Amino acid sequence: MVVPLVLLHAVAARGDSPAARLREIPLFTIARSLNKNQVQYAVRVDDHCAPVPGAPVFAYWRMLEEGPDRVAPLLPREVDAYGLKSQGLSARGDDGGEVRLVLRAVPSRAIVVETRREATGACHAVATAEIAGSKGHLFNVYAKLTWLLGVDYLLLRGWSMDGTHVLQERLEG
């Protein structure tokens, strides 16, 4: 069985002392037919692996056409296509929490992001959504674009809740 790898890295919070750290945990991507670049969604968590207050989920570009570690912010004109319509903290505790969000591109599908501290002390996060009538762990959305940069279709992909197979659903543009 292939299991998706969730990477974790720490970054200093803006305006905080170097000792204060936030972790950004990648959740899922949007890949497009236009090029190799991807929009990466991630969640910021605190030292307890709980989502930070405010807007913990955010998106940015992974500029794979320029190199494996190149990133860039979403441009204001890209927010309608790739931004979040809404997000709200629905639970927060000493060992994790939960955020409910909706993408602007798919306003009819809520995504629940659950964060937790593993037994090893590492923070873990997973994005859960309905895919093909079943609950699954979303890892990728593929956007097949038309010639004038409209959307032909979206392909949602995620792991079944038991991790044994990939769920897939095509949403027509």
Confidence of residue 126 (pLDDT cuts 50, 70, 90): very high
Instruction: For residue 49, give the DSSP letter.
Output: S
As a whole number, the mean pLDDT across the chain is 87
Tell whether the model's pLDDT for residue 141 goes beyond 60.
Answer: yes
Q: What pLDDT was estimated at residue 21?
A: 64
Q: What pLDDT was estimated at residue 82?
A: 93
Q: What pLDDT was estimated at residue 86?
A: 97
Query: Cα–Cα distance between 83 and 86 in angstroms, integer?
Result: 9
Instruction: For residue 51, give the DSSP letter.
Output: B
- What's the number of CA atoms in the CB half-sphere (13 Å) around residue 53? 0
* Token pair listed for 37: 């670049």
- pLDDT-above-90 percentage for the chain: 77
Tell whether the model's pLDDT for residue 20 goes beyond 80.
Answer: no
* Contact status, residue 134 vs residue 70, Cβ threshold 8 Å: no
Mean pLDDT of 120-148: 94
